């Protein structure tokens, strides 16, 4: 079992309206690349919903993330996307 005092976690807050838009039929995302994201081998831990901020937080674990002690706030992890325009 993992040492709960040495958990390496991040939370990725995701806008609920954005999720709804992305899941709407005929919505297209073209030429968009994730230029700063989570490592491919992260482990999904769970999720939570903050009604006041209207965000879903996806919680992941990975050895490269900072250690988070039990009862401590899990830090947010910013994801960045770049849109590539056709020339």
| Other beta carbons less than 10 A from residue 55's beta carbon | 20
Q: What's the token pair of residue 39?
A: 């490592």
The pTM assigned to this predicted structure is 0.74
pLDDT in tens, 34-72: 888 888 888 989 988 889 988 889 999 999 999 999 889
| Averaged pLDDT of the chain | 83
Q: How many domains does the chain have?
A: 1
Pairing mode, strands 7-15 and 80-83:
unpaired
Give the structural domain span for 24.
4-83
For the chain, how far is it from start to end, CA to CA, in angstroms? 52
């Amino acid at each position: 079992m993992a040492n709960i005092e040495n958990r390496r976690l991040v939370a990725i807050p995701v806008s609920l309206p954005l999720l709804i838009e992305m899941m709407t039929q005929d919505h297209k995302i073209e030429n968009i690349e994730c230029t700063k994201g989570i490592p491919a081998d992260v482990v999904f831990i769970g999720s939570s919903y903050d009604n006041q901020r209207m965000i879903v937080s996806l919680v992941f674990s990975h050895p490269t993330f900072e250690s988070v002690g039990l009862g401590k706030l899990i830090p947010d992890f910013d994801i960045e996307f770049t849109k590539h325009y056709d020339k």
